[in-house]
Amino acid sequence: MKTPFKIWDPSKGIQLGPITLHFYSLMFVFAFGFGYIVMTRIFKIDNVNQKYLEPLFTWTLIGTILGARLGHVIFYQPELFKEDFWSVFLPISTKNGLKFTGFSGLASHGATIALIFTTLYYSFKIIKKNPFWVYDRLGIVVALGGTFVRMGNFFNSEIVGKPADPNSPFALLFPQQSSEYGLTVPRYPSQLFEAIGYILLFILLWVLYRKTDKKYQQGWLFGLFFIILWAIRFFVEFLKEPQGDEFIQIGGLNTGQVLSIPFMIAGVIIMIISKKFRITQAENEKPE
């Protein structure tokens, strides 16, 4: 292809004999792997017994994968419940024969909702701390994980941006998406915009956690995380192509933007009420 534009057309994975290790799957491994390392460090800083780390990892994994998948289907592809029910819960397709497909749709809104509930269980039944204490720390890890997930989207050339001005320094060609979006035209790399926003959010939260006493004001870091994360999502959506059927649209806003607004409002409320849940350093450490 002869073009003055930059082209993004990478291989989708690493070939290991008959098996292909997809970069998207690898990014998910990185998200949970580095998240585990960061949370291990956090538990050490807070002097919390490491035995509480494994169940947090397990419940976070369950909430993220199940919630993200159900969120995508409910918000963007509800027809799958009738047309290909098992593909909602399993990485397969039963239409036109049984075949392995992997999960081709995951929604961050769904993952967030599911994580809220799985973390509530973990907080009350396992570590026995205020859920906001857990959310404050989990938000740091999720911001980092979101960076890797959006990098995986970039490797897959999915969740692409809208057509860009040919003179824009961000104009990029995604030839792998020509079958879905038609003629290949320069587009915004919206996945990278989100990834950069999330890594900056991770750095901000980590600095506030380490250098200030905000981790003792339970809910403050989590509220800030909610506001900034969903604000990033809200504004980047202006540059994104629609994901599936945009059946939730209000005032020109698409589904992703409409769903982000309640989370941002919740973040503001949580930051306001967090002053009621301030604890001391001694109370912060888990007694045996």
**DSSP secondary structure string, 197-225?**
HHHHHHHHHHHHHHHSSGGGBTTHHHHHH
Q: Which residue matches tokens 């949370």? A: 39
Task: Specify the length of the chain in residues.
Answer: 288
Given the structure tokens 């930051």, which residue do they identify? 271
Q: Which residues pair with 92 in a beta bridge?
A: 100
Could you tell me if 212 and 229 are in contact, meaning their C-beta atoms sit under 8 angstroms apart? no
Q: How far apart are CA 103 and CA 276, in angstroms?
A: 41
- 18 burial (CB, 10 Å; 0-12 / 13-18 / 19+) is exposed
Give the angle subtended at the CA of 231 by the CAs of 182 and 264, to the nearest 5°: 125
For the record, the structure tokens of 125 come out as: 């039944």
Q: Is 69 marked as a binding-site residue? A: no
Contact 157, 241 (CB under 8 A): no
Specify binding-site residues.
Answer: 150
